[in-house]
Amino acid sequence: MSDVPPLSDLLVGPVVRRALEEDLGQGGDITSRAVIPAGVRIRAEIVARSEGVVAGLHAAAATFSLVDFGLILDVATTDGSSVASGAVMAVVEGSARSILCAERTALNFLGHLSGVATATHALVSAVSGTSARICCTRKTTPGLRALEKHAVLMGGGVSHRYGLDGAILIKDNHIAVAGGVGSALEAARRVSGPVTSIEIEVDTLDQLVEALEAQVAVVLLDNMPPELLRQAVEMTDGRAVLEASGGVTPDTVHAIAQTGVDYISSGWITHSAPALDCGLDFSRGR
């Protein structure tokens, strides 16, 4: 996804810094200082141990840079690219102590975010040939939302609202407290501005009828089996954008997409995506 701009250093830097502070503590890498002489230099390759889609190179680069500005990182691929098992993702050269100090944090970012991109790509591939698009949710790792949502873009998905202030999404508990679909929508419209979108979650076809009668623009169909989703699409007949959610996995997503919904949202791609296995192999440098 080369057309997606990289994340700003203003977002990535603080996240990487917190991760390094967590790993290094107050004493730093006491093992490398004890075992590796100060002047030793190495050239190390970051290698994919399994195939997948790359994401997180920016965070990995920031990790090495924050540990030691003298480290030289040469990326061999780009975020959004597919890699085979055994492919070199990047090469880093410089102080052995510094590289070993940064290794785990850099690989944590790269493996986790590439796993998110790979999981997203799996769902995107599974719905190929339909009109449905895969989007992520707010079910992200605390502190890593910007990086994980960017990884979703690298896998070919799109992002739902970034946070609670991004749009009004009226969910089942909001409806229960507000007294119904109509009451909740009426209350939301009283306070929403001209550019604030409103989406409402429904879990029955009767609720969908209420939402359509209220002329809401976007409806979230929650935990509906494919047969109900298909009925919902027919009932809506283009009057609202439809998003399906709940139970979305690589095994179920194609059947959901075939119902004709516009979007399929998945928390799995951020909160449960398996990491892409990658490692660091090195040899003695100059």
33 given a catalytic annotation = no
171 given a catalytic annotation = yes
Band (165; pLDDT cuts 50, 70, 90): very high
**Out of 148, 203, 222, 262, which one is annotated catalytic?**
222
Tell me the pairing of strands 278-284 and 263-266. Answer: unpaired
For residue 33, with 0-12 CB atoms within 10 Å meaning exposed, 13-18 middle and 19 or more buried, which class applies?
middle
Helices marked H in 72-95 — which ranges?
Answer: none
**Out of 33, 41, 138, 139, which one is annotated catalytic?**
139
250 strand-pairing partners: none
Q: At what angle do helices 57-67 and 96-126 cross, to 10 degrees?
A: 170
Residue whose tokens read 């290698």: 47
The first and second tokens of residue 88, run together, are 């070199």
Q: Is the pLDDT of residue 286 over 80?
A: no
For residue 66, with 0-12 CB atoms within 10 Å meaning exposed, 13-18 middle and 19 or more buried, which class applies?
middle
**Out of 29, 45, 79, 201, which one is annotated catalytic?**
201
**Out of 41, 171, 230, 239, which one is annotated catalytic?**
171
103 given a catalytic annotation = no
Domains of the chain: 9-123+273-284 (3.90.1170.20), 127-271 (3.20.20.70)
Tens of pLDDT, residue by residue over 32-84, are 999 999 999 999 999 999 999 999 999 999 999 999 999 999 999 999 999 99
Q: Which residues contact 199 (CB under 8 A, 6 or more apart)?
A: 167, 168, 169, 170, 216, 217, 218, 219, 220, 243
Q: Is the pLDDT of residue 1 over 60?
A: no
pTM more than 0.75: yes
Task: Read off the pLDDT of each residue in 164-178 and give the average, rounded to a whole number.
Answer: 95
Tens of pLDDT, residue by residue over 78-125, are 999 999 999 999 999 999 999 999 999 999 999 999 999 999 999 999
**Count of other CB atoms within 10 angstroms of residue 127:** 19
**Out of 33, 104, 138, 230, which one is annotated catalytic?**
104
Residue whose tokens read 């994919």: 48
pLDDT in the model for residue 113: 98
Tens of pLDDT, residue by residue over 179-221, are 999 999 999 999 998 888 999 999 999 999 999 999 999 999 9
For residue 129, with 0-12 CB atoms within 10 Å meaning exposed, 13-18 middle and 19 or more buried, which class applies?
exposed
Tens of pLDDT, residue by residue over 219-267, are 999 999 999 999 999 999 999 999 999 989 999 999 999 999 999 999 9
Look at residue 28 and give its three-state secondary structure: coil
Strand order in the sheet with 72-75: 72-75, 88-95, 41-48, 278-284
222 given a catalytic annotation = yes
Tens of pLDDT, residue by residue over 129-140, are 999 999 999 999
The first and second tokens of residue 187, run together, are 């209350």
Look at residue 135 and give its three-state secondary structure: strand
pLDDT in the model for residue 283: 63
